[in-house]
Amino acid sequence: MTNFKRYTLTAALPYANGPLHIGHIAGAYLPADTYARYLRLRGEDVAFICGSDEHGVAITLGSRKEGVTPRAFVDKYHQLMKKAFEDFGISFDIYSRTSNPVHYETAQEFFRTIYDKDLFIEETSDQYYDEQEGIFLADRYIIGTCPNCSNPNAYGDQCEKCGTSLSPKQLINPRSTVSGNTPVLKPTKHWYFPLDKFEGWLKEWLIEGHKDWKTNVYGQCKSWLDQGLQPRSITRDLDWGIPVPLPDANGKVLYVWFDAPIGYISATKEWKPNDWQKYWKDPETRLIHFIGKDNIVFHCIIFPAMLKAAGEYILPDNVPANEFLNLEGEKLSTSRNHAVWLHEYLQDLPGRRDELRYVLTSISPETKDADFTWKDYQQKVNSEMVSILGNFVNRVMVLTWKYFDGKVPSEHELPGTDDRRKRVLSLYTQAHADLDKAVKDMADALKNFRFREAQFQMLNLSRIGNKFLADTEPWKLAKEDMEAVGCILNYALTIVGNIALAMEPFLPDGAASICKQLNSDLKQSRKNFWEKEAMVHIVPQGHSLGKAELLYRNVEDTEIEKQTERLKKHQPVVQAAAIDNPVKPLKSEIVFDDFAKLDIRIGTVTAAEKMEKSNKLLKLRVDDGLGGRTILSGIALHYTPEEMIGKQVTFIANLAPRKMMGTESQGMILMAEDKDGKLKLVSPINEVSSGSQVS
RNA sequence: GGCGCGGUAGCUCAGGUGGUUAGAGCGUUGGAUUCAUAACCCAAAGGUCGGGGGUUCAACUCCCCCCCGCGCUACCA
């Protein structure tokens, strides 16, 4: 890593449609911040870049819901997030936003550069159009039944319930969220980025060239590349976003996924208007993206391909993506309000920034999903931060005040004239070796993005310090050999100072507190520490210490109870919200003839089996009074084949047959969708003969 | 269904080109101690390394099958 001259670190641009929660922090911002702090301490040239991602349909949707303009909407969340980051102490060099003019210029220029190379594909295709509103419906404006999990309110680009990405045409019963009407397909022109043309290059660069990436990252990229890439549309019909900078592109904007990563570049421009290029175009700059796993493909495949297409830009050297964080055993959920919001945490637990940093780093989802629980938070704070770290610092301070009135005692070597002193010396030698190793291990872990381990080694310094005190027992020696006590405490203070230095990337507030107690900014020591990656000298003999202060306080039961209560309370709110809007808007009116076209009948299921190779389809044999027919139905997640047999079902008898998974389905079973997305059979209350018509 | 990542002590995690009694921290239990925020220090208990087969003198580590978690991907007329 020494052959890079500078670093560009990016943390995923948070989407400006809601506040930040601890999952965001643990996934990207905290590891990025820790790394950025570490690099700066080493004296590296660092650009730590982030900003709000403010385009896309979810923003327009959200603003509509709140009855404000998109601009006002993103202003609100941008300010909220920016402040939360600041208050929490994430040390971005710049926190920008994609609605800035400089970003508009940069993104448009980026588009033009690739456009001028004639790389884009221009294509007209059918998209859903809301005739009543007279607008094309972006993916997010269309809801319908998710083909994957049957969630009745899946969006056109993704089902929030099962997380599957979708395209609007996959939705069953698509509806416009603007008018509630069923949209129609209408042609519109869009530009596509030819990802497929970069497949060969990506395989070379990524699969061959970056075997050093984390296995979860590398594995997912390989999976994508093996499946083959396709051109991706990079424009949308929308009035909120960056206009496509072409004459024949009225009403078209850049797709948010295209413009967002460019936001890293424009933010750098905003930060260093005259000097930004070296952070993006100099091969001696190391570009690192900190993201959560949901962003892997965009940062490892799509954005690099974009950068490559534009030319001149450097490519990410590493993308240390984290997995997800759960909360009390369940997924974090914005809509269900199952989350610890950063701004709420900072308000409820003021002065406890380090505590959250410590706990989130200690459970950092580096290799698999992790779980945050308040009980665990309390335990880690109390038994590790308070008992081991804070207590060690405190006892050294108190001892020094007690025996030496707050003046740093002897820094001379202790002459080993008797057995007792020889023992102290040997304990010192052992401690010193252990400490050096811990510092080295910590630095190595930091270099490799293993923050959990790095922080563990940091804490190890206190463990070794505690042992050193317990073994040398200065409070006993004080009765007989004050010279020895002075040497012991001098070294203990050295450990305390080195702990402060080691804490700086992880626990900046505590580090500052120790500096204050040591009455020193540790400026010179700091430089040596990160250069040598070993224990360094801290303060000279005779130096006056500040007053002893407790570094961290225990978390009381009542404090975490308040938090867990808050989580429980959130859930009813959620249900209320769901009840608020459980019923879909009415479809547009039809005439009797429309209804009469449908031939709805009751049939009896005579046989049922799971479709091979499908986890949603059941293959049903239905007695329709006409010799029976085969109907495939996507209900395998709701009914087992066994319980279907003998049931009476309602089905559309004159629907055109459709082949699925190699089998023809001759009709459609009617199901009621409960508000939780569960499907329930629609059956006559009393049994009727098979083939009875419904009218 | 296909693909990817993961499944190691109560909890959070290490580990290994296969090789003596599988490691750490926290928690628990016992002991010691008092400088310290009932903290620290020592010790112990605690694991058939997801399950089953196979390769091997030897597998937790390699191969095959299966189960579970998470994610990506396909099928709900």
Q: Which residue is nearest to nucleotide B25 (CA to C1')?
A: A456
Nearest nucleotide over every DNA/RNA strand to the A462 CA, judged by C1': B40
State how far the Cα of A385 lies from the Cα of A509, in Å rounded to an integer. Answer: 13
The whole-number pLDDT of residue A635 equals 78
Tokens 């413009």 correspond to A259
Chain B nucleotides covered by protein, CB below 7 Å? 1-7, 11-14, 25-27, 34-37, 39-42, 69-77
The whole-number pLDDT of residue A1 equals 47
Q: What is the pTM of this model?
A: 0.82
Q: Which residue is nearest to nucleotide B1 (CA to C1')?
A: A613
* Residue closest to A465 by CA, chosen among A431, A506, A439, A436: A431
Looking at per-residue confidence, does A169 or A329 come out higher? Answer: A329
- CB burial string A59-72: b at 16+ within 10 A, e below: bbbbbeeeeeebee
The whole-number pLDDT of residue A411 equals 78
**How many angstroms separate the Cα of A349 from the Cα of each of A341, A386, A509, A510?**
12, 16, 14, 16
State how far the Cα of A308 lies from the Cα of A312, in Å rounded to an integer. Answer: 8
Mean pLDDT, chain A, integer:
87
- Contact between the CB of A178 and strand B at under 7 Å: no
Nearest nucleotide over every DNA/RNA strand to the A636 CA, judged by C1': B76
State how far the Cα of A537 lies from the Cα of A533, in Å rounded to an integer. Answer: 13
Q: Which residue is nearest to nucleotide B70 (CA to C1')?
A: A369
State how far the Cα of A314 lies from the Cα of A381, in Å rounded to an integer. Answer: 41
State how far the Cα of A99 lies from the Cα of A263, in Å rounded to an integer. Answer: 9
- A388-417: per-residue pLDDT in tens? 999 999 999 999 999 999 999 987 888 878
Contact indicator for A607, A644 with CB cutoff of 8 Å: no
Nearest nucleotide over every DNA/RNA strand to the A666 CA, judged by C1': B77
Flag residues 243-302 of A with CB < 7 Å from strand B. 293-294
Tokens 């009074």 correspond to A625
The whole-number pLDDT of residue A636 equals 74
The whole-number pLDDT of residue A584 equals 54
Cβ count within 10 A of residue A665: 20
Using the structure, give the distance in angstroms from the CA atom of A453 to the C1' atom of B23, rounded to a whole number.
15
DSSP secondary structure string, A88-131?
HT---SEEEETTSHHHHHHHHHHHHHHHHTT--EEEEEEEEEET
Flag residues 539-598 of A with CB < 7 Å from strand B. 550-554
For A236, the 3-state DSSP assignment is strand
The whole-number pLDDT of residue A460 equals 94
The whole-number pLDDT of residue A572 equals 44
- Contact between the CB of A391 and strand B at under 7 Å: yes
Q: What ipTM does the predicted assembly reach? A: 0.89
- A573-622: per-residue pLDDT in tens? 333 333 334 355 556 667 787 788 888 899 999 888 777 666 677 888 99
- Contact between the CB of A400 and strand B at under 7 Å: no
